[in-house]
Structure 1
Amino acid sequence: FEFGELENSLDKVLEARELADQHFGPRDERTLRAYLLQALLYGKLGELEIANELYQETLVIAIEQQGTNSNIVLQILDQYGRFFAELGEYEMADVVYEKAYLISSEALGAQDLRTIMRLQTLANNDADLQLYELAEQRLQDAQATLVTAVGAEALPTINILEDLAQLYQRQGKLRPALEPLEQSYALRTKVQGPEETQTLETKERLAELYRQLGRPDEAEPMFLEVIAASEQLLGIADPLVIDAKSHLAQLYENTNNFVASLRYYQEVYEIDQQILGDAHPNTAGDLNNLAGIYRRLGQLQQSEATYRQALQAMSAALGEGAPQTISIMNNLALVLESQGLYDEAEPLYQKALALSQVEQGKEHPTSLALNNNIAMLYEAQGDFSRAERTYQRVIELNKQVFGLTHPNTVASINNLAYLYLIDQKSEQAETNFLEAYEIWKELYGEKHQDTLKALNNSGRVQTQLGELEQAEETLVRVLELRTELFGGQEHEDVLRSMNDLAMLYFEQGREYEALELFQETLELQNKVLGELHPYTFETLNNLANLQHEMGELDYAYETRQLGYQRRNKFLNRILWVAGDNTRQSYINLYRPELDAYIRLLIELDDERTARDIFDISLRRKGLLLKITSETQQVVQMADSPELQVITEELTAARKELAALTLSGPTPETRNNFPQLINDLENRVNGLQLRLGEASAVFRQAIQQVSVKDVLDAVGEEHALVDFFTYRDENDEWSLCVVILNNGELYFYNYEELEPFKDMIMELRDYMMDVTVIEEDIKTIAQELYEPLWDPITEFLEDKDSIFLIPDSVLNVLPFDALVDFEDQYLIETLNLRLISSARDLVIDPLEPAEGDVLIIAGPDYDSDEISNSPEARLVASSKRSATVNSGIRMGNGLRGLNFSPLPGAEKEGKVIEEVAGDKERSTTFFTRAAAEEKELRSYNAEKVPEILHIATHGFFLKEQERLTKRIVGMQRGSQNPIPPPADNPLLRAGLAFAGLNPNAPLLGEIDTDNDGVLTAMEVLSLNLTGTRLVILSACETGLGEIHEGEGVYGLRRSFQEAGVDSVINSFWEVSDDGTQLLMTKFYDKYLDGFPPREAMREARLEMVKDFRWGSPFYWGAFAMVGRHE
């Protein structure tokens, strides 16, 4: 039995019972003990009905033979009660335990130790029934009796104290739990010694209570002492050591020391894995803890994968309905929500809730917690009304089950207050924050961290409401209490208070007091939290706003510039390891502070304006694609055995750098934090250089480019025009431009963007209509030329070779079709060279590919060969990278794609094949049903094409409308916010291939390598290193929603990031004859040796001069973006 060999043990017991029957008779006490042991073993083996019958039979016989008050009857009742309790049948157990206690009281007396122990057992069972008042009364009675019977320092008395503490903890009454637990620890230390196992266990429980009470400075050394003593006394694998390490990891997680937390969770996982195996519930629980830290560090995909692993293991070990499984299910839903995968998160939450309600009841804490998380999901989706209703329902249920003053209840009240704050319902927010404050004050005392957080939030809301005197009283009080609680100013909560109080002074017009306090706060934050902590950035932005308000523009400039430089550093560290959807959110989230910097630069109106705005464009425009391209290159290089180790080391170093950035300095790292960061950055740079030696594309991606580098590259022969959009003080999009000419930088501010949007769309409408006469088009084109191009001609002087970088809606403007005051198209007077980024003028060119001309034209969108294939329903994840997998799920709009045929596209492909053949160039041509996505991938797996010509539909889908609310919704004042995912523009832009129409409803369920859609994200995974030219013909990329920053820019730029030098795309579908003529002219010149840009320009100029083809409808649709001549 001791070794767990239950069946062998049962055989022996059956033999013993038969012998007892023979020698002593079936009603002898010794025989009854054999029956009792037999019932115990049947229960352990899961034979519950047999065990129950045996208990009842044995009890009846014992009462008949030995009498109700006999010792054997009491033993049977004790064991029978445990049988029910272990099954969770606490009501049945209560009946049996109470019977045992009453008999024991009568037979042995109330002062007998055995009677008191039975009262203790009955009280603990009452606690399981949530009869807390009765349980408390019985435990207190038992304790008082024990003190009289055996003394206050007897072990049974000490044990009762711990039961009392545990009872209070179960009710969330942490402060009442403290006194009995501290007494128990002091007594054990005195009676049993500080190094005795039970003393160490009590010490660990007390440390955990300190952690829960928000007293980490007391808890941490106790945990460390328990670990050191227990490892020496019991070994590293003892449960006490594991518990202490797990709780210490939680403490570090609570205090945002994620690196230390991860280390201890990892240690526990490795011990459990080695001792218990991967299939054990404890090991699955460890994975759950690790996944939680990955989530806090922003490593959402790794977190999701780890949660899935934990869920699978826990389900297999304990079943889907086990509380532990439901908890992991909830956590997985949470991380799916964090990635914006709401369509997956909500059903998983609902499934976990349904299981919890069935298995544990609607009023069980887990069920209530799941309801709370569903409310937070609605909040994250921007559905504030549903979130509010759900929070209110959860609060009412928590009040019914736990009472108003339970931590679960107050947490829900606090969540509702945050919702009101986000939804700009300040008065309701204030009411709820104050209610949370009063409850936490009662639960934990006025100086508890949570209590003060609620009070501080109340003060912030009061500031928003204009209740400035009351706000000052509140915020000053919080600052005093926090300073006292944390022993000075060097704690993030104190610094939070200092910033909020300075903000109040700002609102009150006490500018110099605010200035002094902001500066003091910033100095401390740099030291305590680090330069890249969210609180530090917030104070920097507030200080800059104040300096601007005071008219101190030069000081405001220095502060804004510092914030901009630090944010660049932050984004370069974080975006590299963030999920593909979350990257866009980070960029969106921090855009307002960038716009504030741009507005200040415009207001300064001096030499800094053009220089710094151009630097912003250089570093921020296309940042998403640059980072995504780097990560894709590393993923591809990991397939090489020679480079695998380097890529793994680089990824690990990047993750560690991001983790340190998010956590900031901790007490352990504060003194050497800058050195740690510097060492990691040097390591990352060194590893990247080693990878750059193996990959020219990666070497391009990581190449550093400065403003001076671009000035040198532009030289005296050319000029550069870089358009840039920003938001003005009214949150409206505005347009500006930087011009580089003759080594000088110039700036011009157009202000409002909206009129240009309207004019560009009107011009496009005219140009896209073949029935509109050319003179009407010219009139509209000149009306746009006057406000857009004419103002910058003075800066361009007589330059006719101009590099042009558009932004926002200008990405879909055919600049060559603008008409000057001489009634000439710009293509006739200027050589406009469209580029995606000024970086392209500086980075080293790639060695050109020597492959064929690959043509994919006129796909059969209705082909059902893919959707009807046996492989169509393969699980997507089996062939999809985690990056693309998580991203595709965001692109729900892709399932609505449907395209009509392009009959002229096939003919276009044949014409190109003929022209290339005439020039003795080898071609590969796919059309109709054969024009599948897999053909491009198969070809690309073997060689890199010199030219890739794709004549098909392109698309760019709209962004989800609730993005803004989700961005606002994450502003809960958390110390390390991970923004909710935006819709990744690289997953909303793409090209259509054969079979797309029947495949569209299955996207995400069939193999993404051949589903009929090639997204811009997937383009980055192609190897097009050195491809000279990609032509996207009949591509309607520009017709979707226009977005600033990445936007329409995404699809063509993704080909360049994959290694392509030049990309030609069309803004609308031109007539078949017009397209074929232009492409014939272009290929004829290009294959004769013209550079691609010149070949395209000359082909278009020939059409401009041809009466039949002179309308911009024919030649204006095509835009070429190149890197090098």
Structure 2
Amino acid sequence: MRQLIKLLSIGSIVFLLSLSSFSQQTNEMQKFLEKAAAYEENAPDSALIYYRKVIPDLIYNSESFNNWINEANNSVKYFVAVALAQSGRIEISKGQKTKGINNLELSFEIASNINNDALSIFCSDNLAVAYAQAKSYEKAITYFKHSQFLYEKTNNINGIAYCLGNIGAIYANMDNLYGAATYYEQLLNLQRKSGQGIGSVSDILNIAMLYTRLNENSKAFRFWEMALKESLETNNKQYLGLIYSNLGSIHYKTTQYDRALVFYNKFLEHSEETQNLRDIVLALNNIAIIQFHKNNLNESVQYWELALQKAMQTGQGQVVFDALINLSNIYNLLGNHNQSIIYYEQYLALAKQINDPVFTARSLIGMAEIQFQAGNYNKSRDYYIEAYDTYNTTKKFAEASKINNLIAQTYIREYKINEGIAQYRNALDYNLHSDSLILADTYHGMADAFRMLRQFESADIYYQAALKIYTFKNKTDKAASIINAMAYMQEVNGDLPKAVVLYEQALSMAAASGNKEAGAAIYNNLGVVYRQLGDLPRARNSYLKAMTIYEQINNQDAIAYCYNNLGIIYELSGDLENASIYYEKSLTIKKNTLDVQGLSTSLLNIGNIQKLQGNFDKARDYYEQALALSEQINDSQGIAVVLANLAALYIEIGDYYKTIAYANQSKQISEAGGFLSSLRESYRQLAWAYAAINDNTQAEEAYLKVTSINHEEIDRNFSILSESEKEMFFKTVENDFARFHSFALERFDENPSISIHVYNNLLKNKGLLLKSSTAMRNAILGSKNEFLIKTFDLWIQLKQEIARLYTLPVSERDTDVEQLEEQANSLERTLVRNSAEFSQFDKSVNVYWEDIKNKLEANEAAIEFTNFKHLQGEVIYCALIITKKSDYPVMIPLFKESQLESLMGAFAGNNYQYINNIYGRLVQPEVKLYELIWMPLVKYLTGVNKVYISPSGLLHKVSFAAISKGQSGYIIDDYEIYNLSTTAHSLALMDVVIDENKALALFGGINYTINSKNKSWKYLPGTLEEIDIIEKIASNTITDIKRIAGNYATEEMFKEYAPHSNILHIATHGFFYPDPELIDNLMDFEIQFEDVQFRGGTPSFGFNNFVRNNNPLMRSGLVFAGVNDYWTGEKEISGDDGVLTALEVINIDLRKTELVVMSACETGLGEIKGSEGVYGLQRSFKMAGASYLIMSLWQVPDKETSEFMSLFYEFLSSGNSLTKAFAKTQKIMREKYDPYFWAAFVLIE
């Protein structure tokens, strides 16, 4: 740093006044000053005597001084000021600073009074220096700034530079580094402008050092480079080492490692040239650090070893310590634990020589950690114990308690869990403060140990205790770790909803704390839960997020787990080749680690692949290796899982008795440990094995255990999942129900009561997702909970936006649909979770066959149809019948699905001939459907004339009213048939009756073309006549009727009127397009018969947005005004597009709507999905809240449809209930027409 300059001499100032102004008094003063000046150098005390003779005593009295300065002439004032200044300087040099400063300040005031700038500068310069030396920096700066001002008046460059340099130095001494740098930069600029060059190297270095201390790297770099240039140009090597070192440091701090290496290598070269051993050691040290950060670990080792060698020669103890510890750490990272230990032993030996117990203890802990990482747990424990004793001896009990925890971990790693718990209990003996973090860590460790023993209740107690302290201490990352572990326990217990909630909470906390590694662990765990829920895409996404983080931090153990989990995803997806690749990657890593549990898992999974590929001997070998490892570490859950897989292997081999033996062992361990997943798998294998050896009693018991576990999981999981997530989860258990139903069919003759369980399963599972979603909506909208309703509205807005985007080609979408769907799913989970308390979902699924039986009248029956794979994989259909007298449901096999498909085709046809082939004609009935579906049931329906049916599979496409017995009529001549989504709804059927309080909305006579020349959807003249007739009929009873036709019958108008209408009648075109993957197999169906107009479309238009859409709810819909303007892309979509898809219907609130009549084609069709039934308009209107639907199963002729609807409303308006009116309409129509013209319409509850 620039130094303060010495005091100036003042003698040259004395003779500046004109001699003519001298008086006798001033002459005498002059003589005294001359004598003082003569004595000043060799006899300063004598000089002071003469200076004091010049100074009047009254000067030191402020009042007298003021009078004197006003009365005395300038000559007197001048000589007095000189005497004061010179005496003040001498007083300061003699150590009498207060007196000296006082004299200088009086002199400065007099000089200012007589406007003597030279004397003022002298005083202010010397005062500034005096105050600076006294560390009165603010006053010093004030006087230097005054001097600077006066120097600037005379353009005294040297004087200005003098002031700038000293002000900069003072600011530096004040640690006001910015101020110092500012004045030094002004000094350099002054020198440059004055032609004095850019200043000396030392001046530049002052600024560079200041900016370096300020971490202003870019500014510091500029001045270091300037100093380097100046040094090289002037061949000044004095500071080159310092400059190279600091340029290297700046590049290191800005992570420009390659540039840093350039300068540190120059620093090393310069140091070797000047033979400066200390700088050589420093250069080697820094190069070693840079190579480490460049991940050049071997090069880093070389430089550390050179630094160590040189440091030992020069006795640089700190560098020796640094080199030894860094060499130990790097060799540890390289996996060379032996070499790591050698260096650390040297480090430890030196640490002990220092005779600092605390430092020694810390060094012992470091050695223990290395031994721990090397898997030498006994040696690790020995070093920990030595450190523990050291802390105890020095009475550092808190530290000793920490060591206790570390000792416990060495036992845990050896799977000596109980010894570990005992060690943790020792830590509790130290009576730590109740909110001590060490105590929290002890609780945490004990909880982990109990978790490993699967003693979850004890684990939970200690986790809660630790969590309380971590939360109080705001240790978010540790709290996240606790919640992650608690989530895992819920996962193992099979409570996946709680696990998801806790994992998401832990993930949020880990993100808030910035702990990426903790976040990765949670992502991995969430992936496992998503996999168990059947959501494989989300599971894979979670695993990939985890793996990305682990790769960044090079955590090979964790990467191996991610490989393993990704392998499971590929295995479940049927991609065994990729699954095998990932399992092998995991195994390769695990073989080189000490993770016995992970190695066992890798072997198990490779065994699974071998089993699936039919390599049973290899599979058995891998399983047995996995079992031995799990037994070695007493991993009860791992043992249970491997045993269950061995049981599954022997099913494939055909050795059912070994299956039973292994499955029973797995079951016993799983029951004791509460391992739900392996317990279910054990029961599965037992069920299949017992059935294979014809021990049907044991098989039935095992099947019922499986279904019981599945129902429990459904109840738990449906309380938090969105609909799409519920669908994926149900797929994971769906096959269990199908296999049980297949078994029950075979066992029915032997034990008929088994059908009770089948019927109850159907009551619970049919339309399960629909029941759950509907219950949630009703609960929220009826809750008066402002938060929930607002969240629900936001969710609906998102769903509407998603539906809008699906109508657009991918290239025209301005938002990522997948991202919006994820947001919607997240909101839906929140809604499901928060509405569960007051939802009626539990009530809707807890209906049993006895409830149905007890409600039935003597003339009534309930029939649940079901379909499932049976025996050799053929899908068969069955019916289960209940009457008032039933002791159990009768289970009746009906037909193979292939038989019904051969009759109806894979896709519903629409032309006249197609329908006639299936249902016959009025004069030529067709009985094939009757023989296939109904005839087997007749003998169980004696005395019955009212039947509640719940179709399944392809039966959703069958018009039961049109099933003909032949010449004797239709089955509806013998039975009133109620078409229900589940017979559970027969318990609370409420019929619809028209009265004056109803609101009716009629849509028809729609102009499908407004501005377009395209006629994709043709005008239907019969629909206008239809709604006019209905309006006339209904107006006798209903006063609130809205008739919307022509250009006004838009999609927007429908959405506006629908929520306020009790009855909605829509006479328009409807459509349903099959799965786009199968669409190319469709034939071009006829759309005309003679001159008949049809209310349906063909798969020729709107191809990209609707026909080819992957979402089944986008391939089913109704069309409204202006649709032709958009259908072929002539008009850009800015709002509604004239197509009301089933996906959009879901988002309309139809809870007030008692009846929706879709007088259109194919509105009852959709994609059939297992127990959920039809995904199309039918499902959407139900989900939106409508009570009853009248829909069509095929394309409907315009004229006969109008007639059908007119009759229906006449009956309905005449006081008939909805069901009676519909039945009467069908009766009249079937007496006049073939089924084709009337039987398409079905009434669905």
Q: 1:618 Cα deviation (Å)? A: 0.8
What is the CA-CA distance between 1:601 and the residue it aligns to? 0.1
* 3-state SS of 1:799 partner: coil
Letter aligned with residue 472 of structure 1? R
Distance in 2 of aligned mates of 1:772 and 1:186: 91
Matches within 5 A, 1:104-183: 119-139=284-304, 156=322, 159-160=325-326, 163-164=329-330, 167-168=333-334, 178-179=373-374
In structure 1, C-alpha distance between the alignment counterparts of 2:1224 and 2:562, rounded to whole Å: 68
| Structure 2 residue identity aligned to 1:178 | Q
- Which residue does 2:662 correspond to in 1? 517
Scaled by the length of structure 2, the TM-score of the pair is 0.62
In the alignment, the residues of structure 1 paired with residue 1029 and residue 695 of structure 2 have an alpha-carbon distance, to the nearest angstrom, of: 65
- The equivalent of 2:167 in structure 1 is none
Aligned to 1:948: 1064
Which of 1070, 1073, 1086 is 2:1196 aligned to? 1070
Structure 2 counterparts to residues 720-739 of structure 1, below 5 A: 720-739=862-881
Determine if contact 2:1204/2:1238 at 8 Å carries over to the other structure.
yes
Take 1:75 and 1:590, find their aligned partners in 2: how far apart are those partners?
72
CA drift at 1:275: 12
Give the equivalent residue in structure 2 for 1:719.
Answer: 861
Secondary structure in 2 matching 1:1037:
coil
- Check 1:1049–1:188 CA distance in 2 against 1; reply closer, same or farther (3 A cut): same
Counterpart code for 1:715: E
691, 701, 708: which one aligns with 1:558: 701
How far residue 1095 of structure 1 moved from its aligned partner, in angstroms, is: 0.4
Tell me how far 1:838 sits from its aligned partner.
0.9
SS state at 1:724 partner: strand
Matches within 5 A, 1:44-123: 44=217, 48=218, 50-59=219-228, 73-100=240-267, 119-123=284-288
Q: Deviations over 1:167-194 (max 9, x none)?
A: 44999x9999924996998898788889
Amino acid at match of 2:740: Y
Count of residue pairs brought into register by the alignment: 944
Out of 1158, 1166, 1171, the position equivalent to 1:1032 is: 1158
Q: 763-772 or 573-582: which moved more?
A: 763-772
Change over 3 Å in CA distance of 1:368–1:473 after alignment to 2 = closer
Q: Does the CA-based 8 Å contact 1:120-1:142 persist in structure 2?
A: yes
Supply the distance in 1 between the matched residues of 2:915 and 2:650 (Cα, whole angstroms).
64
Distance 1:195 1:730, change over 3 A: farther
- 2:1002 is the alignment partner of 1:855: yes
* Mapping of residues 207-226 of structure 1, within 5 Å: none
Question: Which deviations, in whole Å up to 9, do the C-alpha atoms of 1:891-936 show, x marking residues without a partner?
Answer: xxxxxx9855544334322322222124353201223443344434
Amino acid at match of 1:612: H
Give 1:638 deviation, angstroms: 5.7
Q: Which letter does structure 2 place at the counterpart of 1:94?
A: L
Aligned counterparts of 1:153 and 1:39: Cα–Cα separation in 2: 23
Cα distance in 1 for partners of 2:1206, 2:320 equals: 100
Partner Cα distance (2:1197, 2:435) in 1: 83
Structure 1 826/767 Cα, relative in aligned 2: closer, same or farther at 3 Å? Answer: farther
Higher-RCO chain (CA-CA 8 Å, sequence separation at least 6) = 1
Structure 2 residue matching 1:857: 3-state secondary structure: strand
Give the corresponding residue for 1:659.
none
User: What residue is the counterpart of 1:482 in the other structure?
Assistant: 630
Residue in structure 2 matched with residue 437 of structure 1 by the alignment: 587
Q: Match of 1:89, as an amino acid? A: Q
CA RMSD for the aligned pairs? 6.5
Do residues 473 (structure 1) and 621 (structure 2) align? yes
Instruction: Give the SS at the match of 1:590.
Output: helix
* Number of the residue aligned with 1:13: 181
- My pick for the range that moved more, 18-27 or 1079-1088, is 18-27
Cα-to-partner distance string for 1:588-609 (whole Å, 9 max, x where unaligned)? 2322111110111011023124
Matches of 2:408 and 2:227, distance apart in 1: 45
Equivalent residue, structure 1, for 2:691: 548
Match of 2:1244 among 1117, 1121, 1124: 1121
Deviation (angstroms), 1:544: 1.3
- Secondary structure of 2:969's partner? coil
Q: Residue 347 of structure 1: CA displacement?
A: 14
Output one character per residue of 1:543-597: Cα deviation in whole Å (capped at 9) or x when no partner: 2111212221111111111211221121122133223222222222322111110
Matched, 1:32 2:201: no
Identify the residue that residue 458 of structure 1 maps to in structure 2. Answer: 606
Moved more, 1066-1075 or 1082-1091: 1066-1075
Is the aligned partner of 1:836 residue 2:987? no
The equivalent residue for 1:939 is 1057
2:741 pairs, out of 590, 598, 621, with: 598
Q: Distance in 1 between matches of 2:930 and 2:183?
A: 104
Cα distance, 1:1095–1:429 mapped onto 2, change above 3 Å: closer
- Alignment match, 1:1055: 1181
Aligned to 2:155: none
CA distance in 1, matches of 2:978, 2:273: 102
| Secondary structure of the structure 1 residue equivalent to 2:1186 | coil
1:212 Cα offset (Å): 12
Say whether the 8 Å CA contact 2:551–2:559 is kept in structure 1.
Answer: no
Q: Does 1:797 align with 2:942?
A: yes
Distance 2:900 2:992 in 1: 40
Displacement of 1:1060:
3.3
Give the superposition deviation at 1:631: 2.2
User: For residue 119 of structure 2, what is the aligned residue in structure 1?
Assistant: none
What are the residue-to-residue correspondences of 1:263-662 with 2, within 5 Å? 421=571, 433-434=583-584, 436-442=586-592, 444-445=593-594, 447-485=595-633, 488-490=634-636, 492-530=637-675, 533-606=676-749, 607-637=752-782, 640-641=785-786
Classify 1:15/1:324 alpha carbon distance in 2 versus 1 (closer, same or farther; 3 Å).
farther
**Alpha-carbon separation, structure 2, partners of 1:764 and 1:601:** 31
Are residue 706 (structure 1) and residue 874 (structure 2) matched? no
The residue type paired with residue 894 of structure 2 is: Y
- Structure 1 residues 598-607 or 625-634, which shifts more? 625-634
Spell out, residue by residue over 1:257-290, the C-alpha distance to the aligned partner (whole angstroms, 9 max, x if none).
9999999999999999x999xxxxx99x99x999
Structure 2 runs not aligned, ≥5 long:
1-173, 341-368, 794-830, 1079-1108
Pair 1:1101 & 2:1227 matched: yes
Q: Deviations over 1:805-861 (max 9, x none)?
A: 211111121111121143412233332221221111113759989431122335555
Question: How far does residue 1031 in structure 1 lie from its aligned partner after superposition?
Answer: 0.9
C-alpha change, 1:1057 and 1:20, in structure 2 (3 Å) is closer
Match 1:908 to one of 983, 1003, 1026 = 1026
Query: Could you list the per-position Cα deviations for residues 290-314 of structure 1 after superposition, in whole angstroms to 9, with x for gaps in the alignment?
Result: 9x99999679999999999999999
How many angstroms does 1:478 deviate by?
1.8
Letter in 2 for 1:1116: A
The answer on whether the counterparts of 2:534 and 2:728 sit within 8 Å (CA) in structure 1 is no
Q: Which residue of 2 aligns with 1:740?
A: 882
Q: 1:116 to 1:906 in 2, by over 3 A?
A: farther
Q: Name the CA shift for 1:724/1:347 in 2 (closer, same or farther; >3 Å).
A: closer
Whole-Å separation in 1 of the counterparts to 2:1126 and 2:469: 46
Q: Distance in 2 between matches of 1:644 and 1:785?
A: 49
Provide the C-alpha distance between the structure 1 equivalents of 2:465 and 2:1124, rounded to a whole number of angstroms.
51
Query: Deviation of residue 147 (structure 1)?
Result: 8.9
- Where does residue 902 of structure 2 map in the other structure? 758
Give the aligned residue type for 2:1204: L
Show CA shifts across 1:947-969 (max 9, x none). 1212234444545769xxxxxxx
Aligned 8 A contact 2:535 2:725 in 1: no
Q: Separation in 2 of the partners of 1:590 and 1:76?
A: 71
Aligned to 2:939, what secondary structure does the other structure show? Answer: helix
**Overall identity of the aligned pairs, in %:** 20
Secondary structure, counterpart of 1:795 in structure 2: coil
- Residue 1089 of structure 1 corresponds to 1215
Change (3 A) 1:481 1:324: closer
Distance in 2 separating the partners of 1:269 and 1:937 = 52
Q: Structure 1 stretches of 5 or more lacking a match?
A: 1-5, 277-281, 354-364, 371-400, 649-683, 693-697, 866-896, 963-981
